[in-house]
Structures are given as C-alpha cells and as structure tokens.
Amino acid sequence: MNDLLIRNGRLVDPANGVDDMLDLLISGGRVKRIGRRLGDADGVGDAGISRGIQVIDAAGLVVAPGLVDMHCHLRVPGFPAKEDMATGTRAAAAGGFTNVVCMPNTSPTIDSIETLEHVKSLIRERAVVNVLPSAAVTVGQGGRALTDIPALARAGAALFTDDGKPVSDAGLMRTALLTARAVGKPLAQHSEDKSLTADGVIAAGVVADRLGVPGIPRSSEASVVARDVVLARETRAPLHVQHVSNLLTVDVVRFAKDWGAPVTAEVTALALSFTDEAVETMGSNAKIKPPLGSREDRDALRKALCDGTIDVIATDHAPHTLAEKSVGLVDAPFGLIGFETALSLVITNIVRPGTMSLADALAKMTANPADILGIAKGRLTPGSDGDIILIDPGRRWTPDPETYESKARNCPCAGRELFGKVVMTIVGGRIVHGSDSALGGRL
C-alpha cells in the first residue's frame, strides 16, 4: 500500500465543518495530515514525507469523505444472476460509496449466525469496499418470531431490518425496538401496510389511473410509520424509517421529531429526482417500492431533506435481471439500481439548482448515516480511515447502464444527462476505482 498525497483539491468535510483548498496526506491507510501545500519543495516539506509517495493532483476536483450507504441489496447469498459481492461492491465504488450496509432479504435470509458468517467471508474474499451486513428482525422475515438479535449483534450485524417486508405485529415490533436499543444497534423498518398496498403497482394517482394499473396509497407507508413512532416514543428506542416516499410520511416524521421521538429517516436519490411520471417512459425500470410519488411528494421530500426532517440519502440499490424486468409493468419485481448514479442525481437535482449546498448534501451521505450506524466513518479527521472520494462536480455525463459495474440494468437514468461524477474512490488508502495516472504522478 502506497502513501497518498492528494493536492490542490477543494476539501469538503461536513462533519468537521471544512470547505477549503487543502491537501490531504494518507499514510498506512489512514488520514495522517490535512493542510496547505503539504510536501512542497524537494518532496519532504513540513509534513515530513519522503520521495516515492504517490501524488494525486486534484485540481478542479472536490475531495470528500467516502459515501456511506445504509440501505442496499447485494443479493448474496442466493441470487447471483442479479448481483454478487464483487460486482455490487465495484458498482458501489464507482458511485463513491466506501461503506455500504447490505440488506438481509437473501436466500437464505441473514437471520442466523451461520449465514451472517458466510456473508462476512464473502466480504473478506471479494468486496472492494467496506460492507456491513445487516440481519433480519424476524426469523425468515416471516414476522412471527424475533431472531437472536443480541447474538447477531455480537457476531457483527450492523443493523436490524426485515427490509422488503414490514414487521406488522405491533407487539413484536415493540419488543424488537427494545432489544435493538439494549444491544446498541439501529432498527430500521420497511413501512408498509400490506392490506393497503394490496396488488398496487405504482403510486395511486393520475398516472396509475392513466395507465389503468392498481395504485398504492400514501397511507400504506405513513400509517405504519405513525404506529412505529408511537412505539419509539414510548420505549425511547431509536427507530430508523427506510426510504420515505411521500408527503404524508414526511409529516409523520416531522411530527415525531417535534414530539421528541428518537426517529431518523432516509430518502433515496431516486425519490428526490423522479416522479411517478417516469413510469410512463421507463416502464418497469421506474417501478420501485415504496413507489415514486407525485411532484408534490417529491417537493415535500426535498423540503424535508433541507429542514432536517430527513437525515440520510440512501440508494436502496436493488438489482434484478433483464428477464425479470422485461415481463411488463404489472408483473415485474419492484426495485431499481442506484449506486452508480446516486451522487450525480443529488448534484444535478439538489445541489446545482441551489436547493442545498454540496457540503450539506454530502453530510446526508457521509457523516449522518455513519452516526446513525455508530461507525467512525464519513469524516476526514486525522487518524480516521483513508476512505476518500474525488468528485468532478461539473462533469456532464449520460448514464449508459451497459457500461455499469453492476450486473443489473434496471436503472431509470439511462440517457438522461447528469452533472457531477466520482472520478476516484479510495478505501483504506487503496485506490479501488479510477486511475491515478489520469490525475497525477509520483514525486
């Protein structure tokens, strides 16, 4: 592992309130020093660095902490045709994610020590970024009996969720919240009332009516969030609301925070960028659960992101095969990929229009999720892990899913011009995406 010196870049570190032209030195896989004009003159400078250190010229680029995604699907074990540990983490690296939490709705479900250890072995062998496996709240995600949450936490589960399915039983959810609080791990809920979702395909509204398909009402999500907020307030157990999608849920989460309930929430970059109108042009490649909402929903999500109601931007990267997504809107599975476009969507739709500063947007993708997870990531403090990305904020590009690192192609961004692109990703001081030769040389 070479030591790295990143020079001439705009260093943006929201956790430490830094936005300045600074150099950054990585040594032994960790951030060693941040300052102005490190390593000048004969290659030694006041940083005490010697010749042979790899120098990366970041002129015109933003240097930021690696992104943290607390909601993605790597499809392992059990679904290698959709994604695998190598392709999924390469896709994450291409999008600037250095730390990701994979969901447990695999085959078998990550609900036992044995399966969790198997996933950890795949991470060690094949992952190019840091992967934190989550574990299911209930056995087999069946909603009937709790998993051994304390044992799974000790074995390394970073988060507990039945993502893809809700924990519908209120008594079980209450006990799960208390147990997760006791072991100091987040409990995240996929909020959905199946009796309200029924056979819904996309968000209820004019687009669903125009297409003649059953709609999913906003209340399917918001009603479960409301119940869980009461449980969190009563038990003082932290609740994380996954992929908030509509204005009713935003109102419930905002009330929860004003009420003093220990609630955090996430939104996907896709939900901030698209509406249900995308289904009319992209078909099943815009079909996700919870569904893309109306323009009014999207505007409410953006406002909630800015005022702190929503804490985190996640991807909910959910790969499916081309065959699965080609059977028509009604029968195709829910889910879209998001690793390789998430940051660009945020820059294009949130930062460039002036809705939020780049630093504030990056906080939602770095320090905030890291803090909820309780991990020392998402910041560039001397001594912290050398997880760093270089972003070209002004680069225009047009996504072509055929060139993605992911196995999947179920992306609604194809052919749409975006701004901002990750040009290098560094994990623990090691370049895992991008070419240093294109950016710099050696002292």
Report, as residue numbers or ranges, the catalytic residues: 316
Q: What's the length of the chain?
A: 443
